[in-house]
Amino acid sequence: MSRPNLAHLLTAATVLAAGFFSLDAAGQAPPPPLTPIALEGDVARGAVLAETCKGCHGVPESHNAYPSYHVPKLGGQKADYIEIALQGYRRGTRSHATMQAQAASLSDQDIADVAAYFAAREGEPELGRSSASALEIEEGSRVATACVQCHGQGGIADAPQWPDLAGQHESYLLQALHQYQTGQRSDVLMAPIIAGLDATALNDLAAYFSAQPHLHQTPIE
């Protein structure tokens, strides 16, 4: 499978988004898509910076309180995607008070270093935490055909700027999908793709990807 052309995808998504979400609730056009940081990450320095992340991302079974969902795994996630996510929290186009406060203090080099550290963490492929039934997983595999171009077959992305979804916790995936639908996460690619999905489809998607082994929990040392 050839890798998707980012410029073509962004152009197409921007056109699609114009029809669905041309203006936000305040009457403003959506912000431009974020891109990876053009700096080389230092894994050793990232390990030091990631000490502030260990209270949540370094603890197995860690939960966000309100709303309740599993804190996402970062072990083995793509560095480019982590950079984009942290920039989103820093810019405020991702909604989470703690993450926004943490990201606000990070420079571009800090973000590149933290991303490099988590991407370099090694571990065995794992399933995500899930209570889904076999039927929900099967139904999710059908809905997920719309996700393959960016997130890859089975939730392992071909391009470095898209996140791997395989093995992520079900409750976190569902929370993220809800945020894209409600605008708590701003993204011109995701918004039009999932705009028409109902609650059952979102649940099935989260169930399917969490049941595909890949990302791993890696306690921060």
Q: Is residue 221 domain-resident?
A: no
Cis amide prior to 67 (ω within 30 degrees): yes
Q: Is residue 81 domain-resident?
A: yes
Q: Is residue 161 domain-resident?
A: yes
In this predicted structure, what is the pLDDT of residue 27?
A: 63
From CA 206, how far away is CA 135, in angstroms rounded? 13
Q: Do 151 and 162 form a contact (C-beta atoms < 8 A)?
A: yes
Nearest one of 96, 100, 101, 116 to 48, comparing CA atoms: 116
Q: Is residue 1 domain-resident?
A: no
In this predicted structure, what is the pLDDT of residue 99?
A: 97
Give the CA radius of gyration of the chain.
17
In this predicted structure, what is the pLDDT of residue 94?
A: 95
Nearest one of 145, 14, 30 to 92, comparing CA atoms: 30
How does DSSP assign 110-175, residue by residue?
A: HHHHHHHHHHH------PPP----HHHHHHHHHHGGGTHHHH-GGG--SSTTSPP-TT--HHHHHH
Number of structural domains found in the chain: 1
From first to last of its 221 residues, the chain has per-residue pLDDT tens of 333 443 444 444 444 444 444 455 456 676 788 999 999 999 999 999 999 998 999 888 899 998 999 999 999 999 999 999 999 999 999 999 999 999 999 999 999 999 999 999 999 999 999 999 999 999 999 999 999 999 998 999 999 999 999 999 999 999 999 999 999 998 888 989 999 999 999 999 999 999 999 999 988 77
Q: Is residue 218 domain-resident?
A: no
> What CATH code is carried by the domain that includes residue 75?
1.10.760.10
In this predicted structure, what is the pLDDT of residue 26?
A: 54
Q: Kindly state the helix (H) or strand (E) to which residue 70 belongs, with its residue range.
A: strand 69-70
Domain that includes residue 120, residue range: 6-22+34-210
Q: Is residue 216 domain-resident?
A: no
